[in-house]
Amino acid sequence: MTRRLSVVGLGPGRADWCLPAAADRLATATDLVGYGPYLDLIAVPTVGRRHPSGNRVEADRAAFALDLAAGGADVAVVSSGDPGIFAMAAAVFEQVELDPPRWSGIDIEVIPGVTAAQAAAARIGAPLGHDFCTISLSDVLKPWEVVERRIEAAAGADFVLAFYNPISRHRPWQLGRALEIVRCHRDGATPVVVARQVGRPDEEVHVVELGRLVPDDVDMRTVLVIGSSTTRTVAVNGREVVYTPRRYAGSLDSALVVPAVVGRPAI
């Protein structure tokens, strides 16, 4: 009996950004479990039965997939991006910890994928070229006070910030508050990458200054990458590129660095 469960990252949506190991598992699994729209993103041939579910039932989805595997199925649980980042891998292990005997003997593996932040960064240059911090603005599973403390700490430490789940109709004000916190630590000209639906047909990626970014320009399918004090924009072959230098002002070899100018205009 198989008793196998793989948590698989699809990447952001493009077929050629789905890693070969992920594609192989999707092609051979007897059962595919996931949020309905993510199952629709699978771009490789599959033979398994599909079990779609809603967006806010991660725990139930994980338990269902584990039960399938415990019954002998070869299960693939799908997530967009990477399954270990704000996604289904943690949900599966949470369920296992709640009732270890129920799912003992299941072979569980996590197959990585290209994250939304990585994909967005690649489309615009290299804004994650130095230390960065990824924060979900959703307060569904953690108190908003915790989110604020983390934004304050990361912004104060001058990390590049990648914001996931930035806004929704159920959370209309949190992004505005998050931007208020960041603006206490960043110049208004700091570049912000606004990346929506990266890797999908309706992809939109553009750059806006932090002082000009408004929540109305963002939706739940957007990831934001907010630059650090050293992040800059340059013109490369007629297009705007954002990057964060690998060296930091004050380092031993900082003499090699172009002096940091926050939000320097494209040249």
Would you state the pLDDT for residue 1?
Answer: 63
Whole-angstrom Cα distance, residue 245 to residue 260?
9
Q: Domain tally for the chain?
A: 2
How far, in Å, are 72, 83, 214 from residue 164 at the CA level? 35, 14, 16
Q: Are 144 and 112 in contact (CB under 8 A)?
A: no
Would you state the pLDDT for residue 183?
Answer: 97
Whole-angstrom Cα distance, residue 5 to residue 1?
12
- Whether 131 is covered by a domain: the verdict is yes
Q: Are 137 and 163 in contact (CB under 8 A)?
A: yes
Would you state the pLDDT for residue 11?
Answer: 92
Beta bridge partners of 81: 11
Q: At what angle do helices 58-70 and 88-98 cross, to 10 degrees?
A: 70
**What is the number of other CB atoms lying within 10 angstroms of the CB of residue 66?**
22
- CATH number of the domain that residue 108 is part of: 3.40.1010.10
Q: Is the pTM of this model over 0.85?
A: yes
Whole-angstrom Cα distance, residue 87 to residue 68?
19
Domain final residue pick, 94, 114, 134: 114
- Whether 264 is covered by a domain: the verdict is no
- Per residue of the chain (267 residues), give pLDDT as tens: 678 999 999 998 888 899 999 999 999 999 999 999 999 989 888 999 999 998 889 999 999 999 999 999 999 999 999 999 999 999 999 999 999 999 989 999 999 999 999 999 999 999 999 999 999 999 988 999 999 999 999 999 999 999 999 988 888 899 999 999 999 999 999 999 999 999 888 899 999 999 999 998 899 899 999 999 999 999 999 889 999 999 887 765 544 444 444 444 433
- Whether 15 is covered by a domain: the verdict is yes
Same domain, 46 and 80: yes
Q: Are 160 and 143 in contact (CB under 8 A)?
A: no
Q: Are 12 and 119 in contact (CB under 8 A)?
A: yes
Which SS3 state, helix, strand or coil, does residue 109 take? Answer: strand
Q: Which are the contacts of 40, defined by CB distance < 8 A and separation ≥ 6?
A: none
- Whether 267 is covered by a domain: the verdict is no
Domain that holds residue 53: 4-114
Cα 91 versus chain centre, distance: 16
- Whether 159 is covered by a domain: the verdict is yes
Would you state the pLDDT for residue 253?
Answer: 55
Q: What are the strands of the beta sheet with 107-111, ordered from one edge? A: 49-53, 31-35, 74-79, 4-9, 107-111
Same domain, 141 and 195: yes
Same domain, 196 and 222: yes
Whole-angstrom Cα distance, residue 185 to residue 162?
15
